[in-house]
Structure 1
Amino acid sequence: MTVAVSSRRPTTTIGAIGALTLQLVATALAGPIALPGCPESCGGVQVPYPFGIGRGCFHQGFNLTCDEAQHPAKLLLGEGDGADQVLGISLPDCTVRIQRKISWSQYAAEFNGSWSVPTPDDGPLMVSSARNSFVAFGCSVLARLIPYDTLGPLTYSSVCAAGCIHTPDASSCSGMGCCRTSIASLGADLPSYGIQVKHLEGGTGRYYHRAAFIVDQEWFSRVEAEMARNFSNLFFPIGAFPVMVDSVPVVLEWSLDLIRDADLFVLSPIGPRSSDFRGLSSNSFSYTIGGNYDRRRCNCSHGYEGNPYIGDGCQDIDECQLPDIYPCHGTCINVPGTYRCSSKKSIRSLPGLIAIIATSAGFGLLFSILGVANVINKLKQRRAKLLRQKFFKRNHGLLLQQLISSNKDIAERMKIFSFEELEQATNKFDQNRILGGGGHGIVYKGILSDQRVVAIKKSKIVVQREIDQFINEVVILSQTNHRNVVKLFGCCLETEVPLLVYEFISNGTLSYHLHGQYENPLVWNDRLRIALETARAIAYLHCAASISVFHRDIKSANILLTDTLTAKVSDFGASRSISIDETGIQTAIQGTHGYLDPEYYYTSRLTEKSDVYSFGVILAELLTRVKPVFSTHSSEGKSLASHFVSMIKDCCLLDILDPQIVEEGGSEDAEVIARLAETCLSLKGEERPTMRQVEIILENILGSKVHSSSRVSRTIQIVLKDQSSNQSKGNEGTRLYSLEKEFIQSSEIPR
């Protein structure tokens, strides 16, 4: 979601002028509104200059049309069929309110459109990002509002998403059947936008009855509940679909260019500079827009009302005729720009009045001091509550609630935690609770109210990319159930940076056990079993989960070990899920140096073989206890993968093999694993085995204890050939992988 930014004039000036606008109509009418001889209204709408109807009555870019053929007459902005009805024009706010038709799309999964002001793009009118909202109706719809300038589309946009409606009592556009968001702005409003509507990935529901449009946010707030209730009948047949609005009001703003519109300004010696500009009226002033000295607007000075763009347009307000706005408890005397109020009381009563005021002020100050702490505390609590509600909606909390409620299995495993629960569990995120930090966040140790020990991950920086990775990890882990994949207990969406709650894995990472100063190095049998359990988890992600998942960051630091040294694959922030019938996807390069697949690095094509390469690096680490990127006396930053393959080809495995493996009598098994690692580290992905093949090979190695080099090569070739024939019959064969089989296989391996 994006946040709109708007440039406005000083608050004091806006407040004074805005309060007078509706109540001083009679006074304003005393001064001229339009140029002499020009119409001042059409269809009950006033037409102040620089707007005008007819030749010679408007400034360039402010021409309007009065359609008197209709009853009542309509004031139009634009030409021909593209003209919009003008509902009102405000000089103090520099706004034009128009009525714009919207189109309801039927039976369309996706559609593209545009929204432009009915005047040229280089004209003075722009869409007000501060006064409008972007709204979308539909089931499982993702709507995007893309800003355009003279050079084309810009890089930022406004996005909102709406899920499907299951109950007919929708009363707001909060993400179920309807969504709304502010319009993105980088300090300047624009005249044109592109509208893109897509089907929400992973969403359900029918495609018809969809719309996305810009609308006056104040107007929409009044009718939001009614429109949402009408749209809750989304799944009715077409003939029974309720009548929706076909047009909505939109607020446009205008500003003047000091050079192009020089004839609307007068150089004045009085101002914040040694010389400044004001409007044509003598009692007016101008102000800049967004800090741009050349972009300006005009308004009447304090105490005056009218049109600052024409001579004598700003007339003095008779404050004495408006006692409700300008109270006076004596005799009111009007003077140009202000008024005086003379008291009827005698001077002798002044000391008593001062005493009363002083006493009242003393009591007021006393009560203020006593209550200020309580008031501030309540304001902070209210502000924090509103902020958490805002973050919950922005982090797609409503859609995640729908996902959990619609799937009983996910609901039993996952929970949406409140921020207070996790704050209490981590002792307010105490630095002493930090377990470590990865590429995607910091991990804290926490104890929940039910005494469960958990690990809580928090993203490091507040950018949309980190939030997208968080959502990606939630979606993947919520649909994953494997004994060698770390379990996700739930998440918290009430913070600017969402939080993930995992099962706590107490024995650190595989990287720490291999490369850290650990007192008891892993024995060879444990290394073999960890390799097999890791392979099983990756194979499950590739071909046995409900959707295929490419991890994209397989490394020893992302493999956690329990007290019994059971392997758990973690950190799915960079993972990608794909359809069953897809073999790869084009995506941005992401991974860890030393583990990154060279083919993926040079082609940007991510396949399941990219994870196989990373797993090959882990096998090399298990055999050598050498880091993926290591230094020698003759070089720095050398790759373990390339060095390992080179040593294997030169028949020098014993030169880099961990001496502990030889001492434990595992050198022959190590040769088998080395041959498998060499195959996984092939530069061409097509020459690497699948993770299912790797899993079967590791099972055969641990089960039958294959030793000789010839039997090693023959075993690997037989498995690869067998799996290739299965794949030629269709991909479905590779997905027949049950949790029961996985449990039986894992139980055969001694710990």
Structure 2
Amino acid sequence: MCYGRNAQATLAIGSWHKVLLPLILLWATKAVVVVNALPLNGCEDQYYCGNITIPYPFGTREGCYMNENFLITCNRTYNPPLAFMGKTNINVTEIWLSGELRVTAYVAEDCYNQTGWTTSYHDPWLRLSNFPISNTRNRFTVIGCDTVAMINGSSGTNYATGCISLCADKKDVVEGSCFGIGCCQTAIPKGVMDFNIRVISFYNHTTVWDFNPCSYAFVVEEGAYNFSKQDLRDFRNRTIETPVVLNWAIGDQNCSEAKKDPQNYACTSKDNRTVCLDSDNGKGYYCSCSKGFEGNPYLPDGCQDIDECQNATLSLCAQKCTNYNGTYECSCEPGYEGDAKSDGTGCRRKPSTLIVRVALGEKH
């Protein structure tokens, strides 16, 4: 069972049937567009940090990032080096120019011994000043058979949401199922800038200790976690961090407002090769290359033409393909007619051509 309410929350511990909590199970996905990202001129040596690339507006030193919000600290004492947001300990593992980045976050846990005494407890928090947690790319996930977990935070106003996971016997648990028996999930609200996770138990796991001594809770990227019965016993021995997707945007203005200030407008790729998109999770906007172009829309020459004719999956031409700046054109070979598109009428021989060939005894 899952619950949520827009207020600071206090949960009284008692028998589970006294807790009235509405079910929240929302599912959503968002495609991530991968483009050929680029660094700012003069910052090529800062483009990589370990296994990830750092495209502008992000950067690892002054002069290579747009502003302090986009500072990435590359800690080279690790092997391979690790990237961190600004001067925090939040590890960044991937950056997308589609207004998203991936970080890692810790798992909350609440563990007991056989007599019901606490052996370990951890309630992690993640605090972000500018980048909200993606409400479409993540799920709040809870593991346990005697477990209630809450995620509290701020999205302009205080909020709390969470879920309950119960089961009396391991045989009741379904492998891969996360609907309240051994595992539950709920959605993350829009605009969440920080969160704290708390996990508690109704009976200190004494009734399920032989197969589930701990409760766990975490925010995780959609699709990155698949529940297993084995997680009830030793999840913490295998997982201490989970991937979380954040949204990022430029400033706190929408596109129409930002365009009124050309000097500070971020979609700078020349010749109208960029489009501006309002953030759908908080304030600000982000840029994208126009259709037919790819690259980094935050750089003057960042959006480059896509040659669709060199990639059969991008063009729909049945015969001839001619590439133009930002687009392409299909045409038929001499003696053929049609719209020249593979999903249309294609190219077929003209009737006059057929007559001539038959007269000459040619095969067709």
- Cα distance in structure 2, aligned partners of 1:5 and 1:105: 27
Please show how residues 595-744 of structure 1 align to structure 2 within 5 Å: none
Q: Does 1:167 align with 2:175?
A: no
CA contact (8 A) 1:145 1:159 kept: no
On the 8 A contact 1:109/1:199 being kept in 2, the answer is: no
The residue that corresponds to 1:116 in the other structure is 126
Is 1:67 aligned to residue 67 of structure 2? no
Asked which structure has the greater CA Rg, the reply is 1
Conservation of the 8 A alpha-carbon contact between 2:146 and 2:215 = no
1:256 aligns with 2:256: no
Once the two structures are TM-superposed, the CA of residue 134 in structure 1 deviates from its matched residue by: 0.7
Aligned with 2:224: secondary structure? Answer: helix
* Structure-2 residue corresponding to 1:55: 62
The question of 1:289 aligning with 2:299 is answered no
| Partners of 1:51 and 1:57 within 8 A in 2 | yes
Q: Which has the higher helix share?
A: 1
Shift of 1:296: 1.5
1:5, 1:129 within 8 Å by CA — same for their partners in 2? no
Q: Secondary structure at the match of 2:217?
A: strand
Q: TM-score, normalised by structure 2?
A: 0.71
Q: 2:208 aligns with which of 190, 205, 210?
A: 205
Alpha-carbon contact 1:113-1:196 (below 8 Å) kept? yes
Contact 1:142 1:160 in 2 (8 A): yes
Distance 1:5-1:340 versus aligned 2 partners, 3 A rule? same
Tell me, yes or no, if structure 1 residue 132 matches structure 2 residue 120: no
Deviation at 1:133, TM superposition (A): 0.7
Q: Which residue is equivalent to 1:176?
A: 181
Q: 1:130 to 1:160 in 2, by over 3 A?
A: farther
The aligned residue for residue 328 of structure 2 is 339
**Aligned pair in 2 of structure 1 residues 256, 5: CA closer, same or farther (>3 Å)?**
farther
Q: What letter corresponds to residue 230 of structure 2 in structure 1?
A: N
| Maintained 8 Å contact 1:307/1:313 | yes
Other structure's SS at 2:223 match: helix
After superposition, the Cα gap between the structure-2 partners of 1:150 and 1:83, relative to the gap in structure 1 and judged at 3 Å, is same
* C-alpha distance 40-266 of structure 1, shift in aligned 2 (>3 A): farther
Equivalent residues in 2 for 1:220-235, closer than 5 Å? 220=225, 224-225=226-227, 228-233=228-233
**How many equivalent pairs are there?**
306
- CA displacement, residues 599-655 of structure 1 (integer Å, 9 cap, x when unaligned): xxxxxxxxxxxxxxxxxxxxxxxxxxxxxxxxxxxxxxxxxxxxxxxxxxxxxxxxx
33, 44, 48: which one aligns with 1:41: 48
Is residue 280 of structure 1 aligned with residue 268 of structure 2?
Answer: yes
Instruction: Tell me the distance in 2 between the aligned counterparts of 1:164 and 1:37.
Output: 58
Local SS of the residue matching 1:178: strand
C-alpha distance after superposition, 1:556-585 (max 9, x if no partner): xxxxxxxxxxxxxxxxxxxxxxxxxxxxxx
Q: Deviations over 1:99-128 (max 9, x none)?
A: 2232433224997835324x4x2x2x1111
Distance 1:51 1:278 in 2: 13
Matches of 1:256 and 1:126, distance apart in 2: 13
1:157 and 2:151 are equivalent in the alignment: no
- Letter of the 2:57 counterpart: P
Q: Equivalents in 2 of 1:68, 1:157: separation in Å?
A: 38
Q: Percent identity?
A: 25
SS of aligned partner of 2:181: coil
* Aligned position for 2:304: 315
Match of 1:143 in 2: 149
Opposite residue 162 of structure 1, the aligned amino acid is L
Determine the C-alpha separation between the residues in 2 that align with 1:43 and 1:110: 33
Alignment partners' CA distance in 2, 1:73 and 1:317: 33
Distance 2:119 2:168 in 1: 14
* Matching of residues 381-420 of structure 1 within 5 Å: none
1:41 offset after TM fit, Å?
1.4
Confirm or deny: 8 A CA contact 1:162 1:179 kept in the other structure.
no
The Cα of 1:37 is off from its aligned counterpart by 2.7
Gap regions ≥5 residues in structure 1: 9-13, 235-240, 270-276, 358-751
Q: What displacement does 1:258 show?
A: 4.7
Q: Check 1:254–1:327 CA distance in 2 against 1; reply closer, same or farther (3 A cut).
A: same
What runs of 5+ residues in structure 2 fail to find an aligned partner?
1-22, 113-117, 346-364
CA distance in 2, matches of 1:35, 1:190: 34
1:407-556 correspondence runs (5 A): none
Letter in 2 for 1:289: S
Structure 1 residue 201: deviation in Å? 7.9
Corresponding residue for 1:633? none
Structure with higher strand content: 2
Q: 1:320 is paired with a residue of what secondary structure?
A: helix
- Report SS of the residue matched to 2:149: strand
Identify if the C-alpha distance between structure 1 residues 85 and 196 changes in structure 2 by more than 3 Å, giving closer, same or farther.
closer
C-alpha distance in 2 between matches for 1:112 and 1:71: 27
CA gap of 1:55–1:162, structure 2 versus 1, over 3 A, is farther
Relative distance call for 1:316 and 1:233 in structure 2 (3 A) is same
| 2:62 aligned counterpart, secondary structure | coil
Q: What is the rounded CA distance, in whole Å, between the counterparts of 2:166 and 2:250 in structure 1? A: 39
Q: Do the aligned partners of 1:97 and 1:249 also contact (CA within 8 Å) in 2? A: yes
Other structure's SS at 1:167 match: helix
Alignment partner of 1:2 out of 5, 24, 30: 24
CA-atom RMSD in angstroms: 3.9
Tell me the SS of whatever aligns to 2:171: coil
Post-superposition Cα deviations, 1:422-465, rounded to whole Å, max 9, x if no partner, equal xxxxxxxxxxxxxxxxxxxxxxxxxxxxxxxxxxxxxxxxxxxx
1:217 to 211, 217, 222: 222
Q: Is the 8 A contact 2:109 2:122 kept in 1?
A: no
Q: Are the structure 2 counterparts of residues 326 and 165 from structure 1 closer, same or farther at C-alpha, using a change threshold of 3 Å?
A: farther
Helix, strand or coil for the counterpart of 2:78?
A: coil
Following superposition, the deviation at residue 169 of structure 1 comes to 6.8
Q: Aligned residue for 2:240?
A: 246
1:88 paired to 2:110: no
CA distance in 2, matches of 1:144, 1:101: 15
CA separation of 1:248/1:114 partners in 2, compared to 1, >3 Å: closer, same or farther? Answer: closer
CA change 1:233–1:115 in 2 (3 A) is: closer
